[in-house]
Copies of this chain bind each other. A is one copy, B any other.
Amino acid sequence: MNEAGDIEREDSLTRVEAFSDGVLAIIITIMVLELKTPIQESLSALWALWPIFIAYVLSYAYVAIYWVNHHRLLGHARVVTSGLLWSNMLLLFTLSLIPFSTAYLGEHHFGREATLLYLVTMITPALAYILLQSRVAATGAKTVASRRYHKASHRKGLAAAAIYALGIPLTFLSPWLGVACAALVAGFWMLPWSAMDRLFLDRVPPAGS
Q: Which residues of A contact B (CB under 8 A)?
A: 1, 3-5, 7, 9, 11-12, 14-19, 21-30, 32-33, 35, 37-38, 41-43, 46, 57, 60, 64, 67-68, 71-72, 75, 82, 85-86, 89, 92-93, 96-97, 99-100, 103-104, 107-108, 111-114, 117, 145, 149, 190, 192-194, 196-197
Q: Can you report 7 A-B residue pairs in the complex whose CB atoms are below 8 A from each other?
A: A15-B17, A19-B71, A22-B24, A22-B26, A26-B29, A41-B114, A71-B85
Majority-rule SS of A interface residues: helix
A79 to chain B, nearest CB (A): 13
State how many copies of this chain the complex holds.
4
Q: Are A5 and B197 in contact (CB under 8 A)?
A: yes
Q: Are A37 and B107 in contact (CB under 8 A)?
A: yes
Q: Are A100 and B43 in contact (CB under 8 A)?
A: no
Q: A14-B11, A113-B42 are in contact. Are A5 and B67 (CB under 8 A)?
A: no
Q: Are B194 and A37 in contact (CB under 8 A)?
A: no
